[in-house]
C-alpha cells in the first residue's frame, strides 16, 4: 500500500509519468459554466449543470482512453561527445510514433543547469512517422556531464488531457575549453600575432634547415629576402629556416582562489586554460616537448612532456575538468614538485596572478629563475587600467585615479625587481593572454636562449 501511494504521489507531481489537464479542458469548463449560470436565472441551473458536467466527464473518459491506448513511442538522442565551452553545439532528438493516430507533443531534454535552455520543443507527429527535432545550446562551465532523461508529453483526439512519458537515454558529454583560438594559431600563427598588434620574428638562418618561402612581414631579416620569388610574384618573399627542435616547455596553471575572479567572459582560470592550450598547440607544432602542471594548495594534474600534435589531445583530456579551488595556491610546493619531475632546463610559463608575488621574497623563486627561463603571465585588472586613463574632473575621480596610478607604479617596480633576479612577471589584458604567451615563446626560440 505504501509503495502504491509513493508511485501515485510521484505521478501526481509529474516527476516521472502521469496525466494532466490541458488548457482546452480548462477553457471548455469555463465556457460551459456560462450557460449553467444563465439557466439558474430560470430555475434550471442544477439540471443543466449536472448534464454539462456529465458530458464533460464522458468526453474526458473517451480522451483518456485514447491516451492510454496510444503510447507506443520511441526516442533517441544524437549529441557530440565533446563540446567546447561557450560555443554553440547542435543536438538532435528523434521521436518515432508507432501508433495509429496523429499526436501533438511537447518535449524537454534534461540539460545541466550550466547549459542554455532551448526547451520545450513542440510539434505534431503523424501516425507511423519519425520526426527529427534539432536544437542548439551552449555550455558555460567545463567538466563532464551526464544527460539522461527526456520528458515527453503528448495529446490525442480531443486534446483535453495530456500524458507524460519519460525516455531514459543516458549519454556522457565533456565540455572542453574553447579551442577556436588554438586552431587559429595552428593555421596561421604569424598572421594571428600581427593582427593583434604583435611582432614575431622568423627563425634565424643557420639554426636549422631550409623550411619554406613565405610573405615578408615587418620584423623579418631583410637579408633573407628571396629576390627570385619576389620578382615572380611581385611581392616581397623571404626564406624561412627551421630552428633546432626538442626544447622543453612547461606550462603551470594556477587553480587557486584568486583565479576565480569573474571577467567579461568566464573567469581567470578559463582564460588561463585556453591560453595554455593555445601555446601548447603552437609549441607542439614547432616540434618541442610540452608538459602541463595544474595546482592550487595541492597538485591537481600533471601531464608529462610529450611531442607532436597528438600530445595536445592528452593535455586536453588532463586539464579540461580543472575547477577553481577554495584555497590559496601553494607556489613553493608546485615549483618544488616541478623540480622533482622536470630535471631538464627549459621554458616555464605560469598562468597566475601577480599580486601574490608582489610581496614574495622566498628564495625558491630565485632558484627557479636560475634553473629555468621563467615567465609569469597575469591578467590585469580592467578597472585599474580604466581609472589610470580617466580624466580628473572632480576630487573623487582624482583620488581614485591617483590610487590606481600608485598601484600601477608599485607593480612596475616589483616587476623590475624580480626581473633583476631572473624572474620575469608580466600583466596583460585578458583578451591578449594567449597572444602574449605565444609571442614570448616565439621570441625565446628566436633568441636561442634555451
What are the backbone angles phi and psi of residue 177, rounded to the nearest 5°? -60, 160
pLDDT for residue 255: 93
Task: Determine the Cα–Cα distance for residues 322 and 378; give it in Å rounded to an integer.
Answer: 18
Q: What is the pTM of this model?
A: 0.72
pLDDT tens, residue by residue, 15-68 = 567 788 888 888 888 887 777 777 777 777 777 778 887 888 888 888 777 776
pLDDT for residue 10: 46
pLDDT for residue 203: 44
Grid coordinates of 71? 503510447
pLDDT tens, residue by residue, 263-276 = 877 889 999 999 99
Task: Determine the Cα–Cα distance for residues 125 and 136; give it in Å rounded to an integer.
Answer: 21
Q: Is the pLDDT of residue 8 over 60?
A: no
The residue length of the chain stands at 450
Its CATH architecture, for the domain 1-176, is Sandwich (2.60)
Q: Do domains 1-176 and 180-203+243-447 have the same CATH topology?
A: no
Q: Is the pLDDT of residue 435 over 80?
A: yes
Residue 104's nearest CA partner among 142, 141, 157, 41 is: 157
Task: Determine the Cα–Cα distance for residues 162 and 244; give it in Å rounded to an integer.
Answer: 70
CB hemisphere CA count around 435 (13 angstroms): 17
pLDDT for residue 355: 79
Residue 437's nearest CA partner among 250, 309, 260 is: 250
Residues contacting 49, CB < 8 A, separation 6+: 36, 39
pLDDT tens, residue by residue, 345-388 = 888 999 998 877 766 545 666 666 667 788 889 888 777 777 77
Residue-range domain boundaries for the chain? 1-176, 180-203+243-447, 204-238
The mean per-residue pLDDT over the stretch 173-200 comes to 64
pLDDT for residue 197: 43
The class (CATH top level) of 180-203+243-447 is alpha beta
Percent of the chain with pLDDT over 70: 84
Task: Determine the Cα–Cα distance for residues 249 and 349; give it in Å rounded to an integer.
Answer: 8
- 67 upstream amide cis, omega within 30 of 0: no
Mean pLDDT of the chain: 81
Strand partners, 239: 213
Amino acid at each position: 500500500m505504501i509503495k502504491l501511494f509513493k508511485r501515485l504521489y510521484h505521478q501526481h507531481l509529474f516527476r516521472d509519468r502521469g496525466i494532466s489537464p490541458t488548457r482546452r479542458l480548462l477553457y471548455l469548463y469555463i465556457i460551459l459554466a456560462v450557460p449553467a449560470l444563465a439557466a439558474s436565472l430560470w430555475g434550471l441551473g442544477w439540471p443543466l449543470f449536472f448534464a454539462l458536467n456529465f458530458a464533460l466527464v464522458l468526453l474526458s473518459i473517451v480522451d483518456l482512453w485514447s491516451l492510454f491506448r496510444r503510447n507506443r513511442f520511441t526516442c533517441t538522442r544524437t549529441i557530440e561527445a565533446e563540446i567546447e565551452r561557450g560555443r554553440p553545439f547542435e543536438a538532435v532528438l528523434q521521436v518515432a510514433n508507432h501508433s495509429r493516430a496523429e499526436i501533438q507533443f511537447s518535449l524537454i531534454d534534461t540539460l545541466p543547469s550550466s547549459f542554455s535552455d532551448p526547451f520545450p520543443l513542440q510539434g505534431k507527429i503523424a501516425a507511423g512517422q519519425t520526426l527529427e527535432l534539432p536544437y542548439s545550446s551552449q555550455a558555460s562551465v567545463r567538466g563532464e556531464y551526464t544527460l539522461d532523461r527526456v520528458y515527453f508529453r503528448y495529446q490525442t483526439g480531443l486534446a483535453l488531457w495530456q500524458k507524460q512519458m519519460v525516455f531514459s537515454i543516458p549519454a556522457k558529454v565533456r565540455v572542453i575549453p574553447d579551442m577556436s583560438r588554438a586552431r587559429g594559431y595552428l593555421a596561421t600563427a604569424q598572421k594571428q600575432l600581427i593582427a593583434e598588434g604583435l611582432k614575431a620574428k622568423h627563425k634565424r638562418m643557420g639554426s636549422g634547415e631550409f623550411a619554406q618561402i613565405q610573405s615578408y612581414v615587418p620584423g623579418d631579416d631583410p637579408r633573407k629576402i628571396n629576390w627570385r620569388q619576389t620578382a615572380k610574384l611581385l611581392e616581397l618573399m623571404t626564406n624561412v629556416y627551421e630552428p633546432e627542435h626538442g626544447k622543453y616547455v612547461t606550462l603551470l596553471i594556477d587553480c587557486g582562489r584568486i583565479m576565480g575572479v569573474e571577467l567579461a567572459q568566464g573567469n581567470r582560470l578559463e582564460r588561463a586554460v585556453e591560453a595554455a592550450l593555445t601555446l601548447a598547440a603552437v609549441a607542439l607544432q614547432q616540434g618541442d616537448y610540452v608538459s602541463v602542471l595544474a595546482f592550487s594548495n595541492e597538485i591537481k594534474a600533471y601531464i608529462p612532456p610529450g611531442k607532436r600534435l597528438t600530445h595536445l589531445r592528452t593535455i586536453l583530456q588532463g586539464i579540461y575538468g580543472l575547477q577553481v579551488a577554495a584555497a590559496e595556491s601553494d607556489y613553493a610546493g608546485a615549483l618544488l614538485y616541478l623540480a622533482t619531475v622536470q630535471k631538464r632546463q627549459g621554458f616555464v610559463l605560469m598562468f597566475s596572478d601577480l599580486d601574490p608575488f608582489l610581496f614574495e621574497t622566498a628564495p625558491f623563486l630565485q632558484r627557479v629563475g636560475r634553473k629555468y627561463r621563467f615567465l609569469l603571465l597575469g591578467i590585469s585588472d580592467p578597472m585599474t587600467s580604466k581609472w589610470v586613463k580617466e580624466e580628473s574632473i572632480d576630487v573623487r575621480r582624482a583620488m581614485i585615479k591617483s590610487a590606481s596610478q600608485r598601484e600601477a607604479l608599485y607593480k612596475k617596480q616589483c616587476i623590475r625587481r624580480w626581473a633583476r633576479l631572473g624572474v620575469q612577471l608580466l600583466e596583460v589584458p585578458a583578451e591578449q593572454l594567449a597572444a602574449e604567451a605565444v609571442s614570448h615563446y616565439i621570441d625565446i626560440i628566436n633568441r636561442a636562449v634555451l
